[in-house]
Structure 1
């Protein structure tokens, strides 16, 4: 189960690069209003709850287009320092022939579990539909492990799309020129993913503890 992912090459693939990234804030000067990006206002209101079953604590899971493939079960995770694609997803996309850019920094997930990435790959990612559709080249960290999700969009992708996620409203909103695009989450899919994760973790817990109960927490 992936709870919160840190590490990877997003903020640098070496200790020196990561320290330099952290020091940038020390030299940061507060921008004046005139220097701020003139992005459209992104907001959420009661209308965004139309069609949503409440109350709920469902994860935000969407379908997006990656390299001309419609990929379902994409988990929106603003706690992740990297965007993730699983090798099984790439295999289904028949993109196994691509060479990965090497990544030396491992991924660290909840409970100190460490995953060594296969590498990094840059692919076009599209959000939205019709006139409110935008495409950007996004770097994905590729991992070879099982997951209920096909991919994870973390802070780097949300930043590139200037996107704001609300799991409560089951919406992902992002800037498209002077307008705002919207992607809706799928509550049923999110709950199926949750059920699969818990079942798999409980099975592993029984195997590792010879029958003792494994307590699993889901974001």
Structure 2
């Protein structure tokens, strides 16, 4: 999934130009060279992080359950391809945040067809880790309906703020902590539930687009329709230049060959006794 826009988008073209100057400058400014917080802490994935089961590696979503404000929110998708953070209005309602507290934000694209307009944006404290070793960062979320079985999406802005690294083969998220590395494993049950829901919705959508079956006439026979021949195992003469019986089933099947065409000419002797040679005439002409 690739979502971009919303609260993570630059606020003006002037700000974008400022970013471009800083990034492309031959000599970066002093402020641009400041090291990021937690950047000195290495994040390593090794055999100790290897899952005990390797079924469906890379197929299940990476779902985590951080504490947002004072609520543990499950089914939060970690998506490094998303350029913004999204949260469902249902979660906002459970957090008892009124719509009046939401700030104005821009549109984004990637979840729904075209561009989507969120209800607003809100900054919330997000916490990962345990009682002694935890991290809390203030994350800006766009509040929008998500046509997916998730309560929200944690995109690149969240990963950058926590200096976190996802590993999609191990389905794990790691980030620096005050005491040691904080490792967050994906919730397998939630991942299976969401994967099953996505599959069912895909099957239902495909069934809705499929053509309706032909109606049956009295007597149990199906009425002929425009699509009847598309379900037949043979093609009609209007669909190909020869009948199916004359065409090999594949390039290696030489058992079926095109019928030989009748000759277009014939030879007629010069004399009735057969002497004097012969000459060629059209097959439709009389020999005499």
TM-score, structure 1 normalization = 0.82
1:72 is displaced (CA, Å) by 0.3
1:124 aligns with 2:122: no
Distance 1:40 1:144, change over 3 A: same
Question: Which of residues 88, 93, 96 in structure 1 aligns to 2:95?
Answer: 93
Q: Aligned residue for 1:25?
A: 23
> 1:57-103: CA deviations, max 9, x gaps?
22211111001100000100111111110112212333235521101
> Contact 2:79–2:156 at 8 Å: present in 1 too?
yes
> Contact 1:12–1:21 at 8 Å: present in 2 too?
no
> Contact 2:7–2:141 at 8 Å: present in 1 too?
no
Question: Which of residues 51, 64, 75 in structure 1 aligns to 2:66?
Answer: 64
Query: What RMSD over aligned residues (CA atoms) do the two structures have, in Å?
Result: 2.7
> Contact 1:13–1:103 at 8 Å: present in 2 too?
no
Give the aligned length: 206
1:191 is displaced (CA, Å) by 2.4
> 1:8-29: CA deviations, max 9, x gaps?
1313134443444344311275
Distance 1:28 1:183, change over 3 A: farther
1:185 is displaced (CA, Å) by 0.6
Q: Aligned residue for 2:182?
A: 181
Q: Mind listing any 5+ residue stretches in structure 1 that lack a counterpart?
A: 213-219
Q: Aligned residue for 1:9?
A: 7
Structure with the largest fraction of strand: 1
Distance 1:170 1:93, change over 3 A: same
Deviates more, 1:196-205 or 1:184-193: 196-205
Deviates more, 1:163-172 or 1:190-199: 190-199
1:197 is displaced (CA, Å) by 2.1
Q: Mind listing any 5+ residue stretches in structure 2 that lack a counterpart?
A: 213-288
> Contact 1:52–1:169 at 8 Å: present in 2 too?
no
Map of 1:177-216 to 2, 5 A cutoff? 177=178, 179-207=180-208, 209=209, 211=211
1:48 aligns with 2:49: yes
